[in-house]
Amino acid sequence: MTATTTHTFVDLWSSAVAHRGGAPFLTFEGPSGDVTDWTYDEFDQVVARTAAALAERGVESGSSVHLALTNSPTFIAVWVATLRLGGWIVPSDPMGRTPEFAEHIDRTSPAVGVCAASRADTYLPAAGGRPVIQIDEADASFEWLPADGVGEWPDVQATDRAAVMFTSGTTGRPKGVEITQANYAFAGTTMASAADLGADDRQIVVLPLFHANAQYYSFASAIAVGASVALMHTFSASGFIPQAARHRATHASLFAGPIRMILARGGPLDPSDGELQLRHCWFAQNLGDDQFETFGEWIGCRPRQLYGMTETIPAVLTDTTDDPRPDSMGTVTDGCILEIHDEHGNRCPVDTVGEIVVGGRPGHELFAGYLDDPATTEASFRGAWFRTGDRASFDAEGRHHFDGRRADVLKVSGENVSVVEVEAVVGSHAEVHEVVVVGAPDPIRDEVPVAFVVPTESADRNGLESRLDAWAAERLGKAKQPRHYEIVDDLPRTSVGKIRKFLLADAAATVAASTSPTPNQNPEQKS
């Protein structure tokens, strides 16, 4: 593996303050629409005062701070202050429940917790008697902080822990992903380069800050080059495009789910709302061709797909070409190491599906490990390669194409069926806004695909299942055709918009059982 120059997140922040002190750093638009701005120098003073407040409550080098906050200036101040003190943050979904908070807190033993006063009744029972700072997430005055800030900062090392981020928990117990100072720095410099982000650019952040996307791809990259960030208190499908124009954003990062919401509830910019300056927008799969083209027209630039995980630190695949495509996650990001391996650990040839594996040094270019779980950490690697569990292929141009997770490959009558392929075909129907395909047990075929479909607003639901069935029959082999189409108003999601497929498994099994043939019936004859 190729070693890279090692920096810390604290190095990036200190450099930005030193070289861009008078330049804009943060713009916050609160729930009321009020806007507050800080330069790097001004926010550095807030960071120093926040550090003093944390130190008063026992935070020092090696301490953890638990955060349960929506997008707010306080989240940023606590994040940077904790890392400057040599500590580490534990960000949780602020809309979580007491048992979820309790698990995260019990596993990380924070010196202090920070939550919204409006949700303290849910948070405090999980805190276990630890000090808790209750704040107003809309507050931009920081009047609750001491007047004087920390004057001397401890030294921090590249491999010092900087965060533990728990996976979304869509299946099983969440894993705590350990992130180091060097990891944040590598994410920032790598993603700034991939997005061609410069000091005069501005990120708009609408995704939740407790998630790696907003931290890695938006804030860390901005700090790495001294750019600015427009932080929205929450995501608004109808408000996103006007906000991007109002705050003169040049860069954005979204998931496909929020983009579909924008397409369903928003619209192109009204000239009275200003002029868009966006020239770059990341998104994580999957978008249909029409969705991709329409959204690109609305925001004034063609969105670029990427692929990454909390564990891989930056997005290790990025579409940085002049002609980004919705069917490709792009090529290997500069500075990253990625291959496609077969089940034996051998590198796959062109156009062959295998597992995405990522190289790098743990704690530098890759996550440091899973919290207090060396067995799971070891099992996630094959030799020097981190195994993502995701499947893909690459073409002769080096473009990578997603083929789902290992769990997204169904075994239908002995044939491998990728739900990603089925979703792409069904999702290309003009009346489909979004579709998810999951496997259901079947007495004849072992498994069958079941499609959960959110129709477009203009769709005629009467007879839609039959039309979708005919559409798929013309484009997919028998094993790949969904056994049933369940028409739904929406899909269950995590707070960052990812679909919680496991919640659909029981429903799929019930639906499939009601339509499956008996062992004496023709398995290709639908009831």
Dihedral, 14, 20, 23, 26 alpha carbons, nearest 10: -30
pLDDT surpassing 80 at residue 513 = no
Q: Which run of H or E residues covers position 388?
A: strand 385-394
What is the separation of C-alpha 441 from the centre of its chain, rounded to a whole number of angstroms?
A: 30
Mean pLDDT of the chain: 91
Name the band, by pLDDT with cuts 50, 70 and 90, for residue 18.
very high
Name the band, by pLDDT with cuts 50, 70 and 90, for residue 518.
very low
**pLDDT at res. 410:** 83
pLDDT tens across 338-391, in order?
999 999 999 999 999 999 999 999 999 999 999 999 999 999 999 999 999 999
**pLDDT at res. 444:** 64
**pLDDT at res. 174:** 81
Separation CA 164–CA 21 (nearest Å): 29
The residue that leads in pLDDT, 522 or 339, is 339
- Looking at beta carbons, which pairs linking 344-350 to residues 24 or more positions away fall under 8 Å? 345/382, 345/383, 345/385, 348/393, 350/393, 350/394, 350/395, 350/396
pLDDT surpassing 70 at residue 521 = no
**pLDDT at res. 167:** 80
Q: How many CA atoms lie within 13 A of 296 on its CB side?
A: 18
Q: Closest by alpha carbon to 366, among 177, 162, 169, 193?
A: 177
pLDDT surpassing 60 at residue 526 = no
Q: Closest by alpha carbon to 63, among 14, 108, 7?
A: 108
**pLDDT at res. 59:** 98
**pLDDT at res. 414:** 58
pLDDT tens across 240-291, in order?
999 999 999 999 999 988 998 999 898 999 998 899 999 999 999 788 899 9
Tally the residues of the chain: 527
**pLDDT at res. 395:** 97
Q: Which residues contact 430 (CB under 8 A, 6 or more apart)?
A: 456
**pLDDT at res. 405:** 74
pLDDT tens across 50-62, in order?
999 999 999 999 9
**Percent of the chain topping pLDDT 90:** 78
Q: Which two tokens stand for residue 179?
A: 């992130």
Phi, psi of 143 (to 5 degrees): -70, -15
Name the band, by pLDDT with cuts 50, 70 and 90, for residue 168.
low
pLDDT tens across 293-327, in order?
999 999 999 999 999 999 999 999 999 999 999 99
> Which CATH entry fits the domain spanning 328-406: 3.30.70.1230, 3.30.70.260, 2.30.38.10, 3.40.50.450?
2.30.38.10
CATH 3.40.640.10 holds for 413-515: no
Give the dihedral sign, CA 39/44/47/48. Answer: negative
Pairing of strands 400-405, 409-412: unpaired
Phi, psi of 391 (to 5 degrees): -110, 145
**Least reliable range by pLDDT among 65-74, 135-144, 349-358, 471-480:** 471-480
Instruction: Provide DSSP, 221-247.
Output: HHHHHT-EEEEESS--TTTHHHHHHHT
**Least reliable range by pLDDT among 175-184, 290-299, 470-479:** 470-479
Instruction: Provide DSSP, 241-281.
Output: HHHHHHTT--EEEEEHHHHHHHHHH--SPPGGG------EE
**pLDDT at res. 519:** 38
Name the band, by pLDDT with cuts 50, 70 and 90, for residue 515.
low
**Least reliable range by pLDDT among 330-334, 397-401, 413-417, 470-474:** 413-417
Residue type, 446: D
> What do you get for the CA distance between the two ends of the chain, in Å?
56
Q: Closest by alpha carbon to 336, among 217, 191, 218?
A: 191
pLDDT tens across 105-116, in order?
999 999 999 999
**pLDDT at res. 399:** 97
Domain ranges in the chain are: 328-406, 413-515
The whole-number average pLDDT for the span 501-524 is: 65
pLDDT tens across 210-248, in order?
999 999 999 999 999 999 999 999 999 999 999 999 999
Q: Closest by alpha carbon to 60, among 87, 33, 83?
A: 87
pLDDT surpassing 70 at residue 1 = no
Name the band, by pLDDT with cuts 50, 70 and 90, for residue 169.
very low
The whole-number average pLDDT for the span 188-208 is: 98
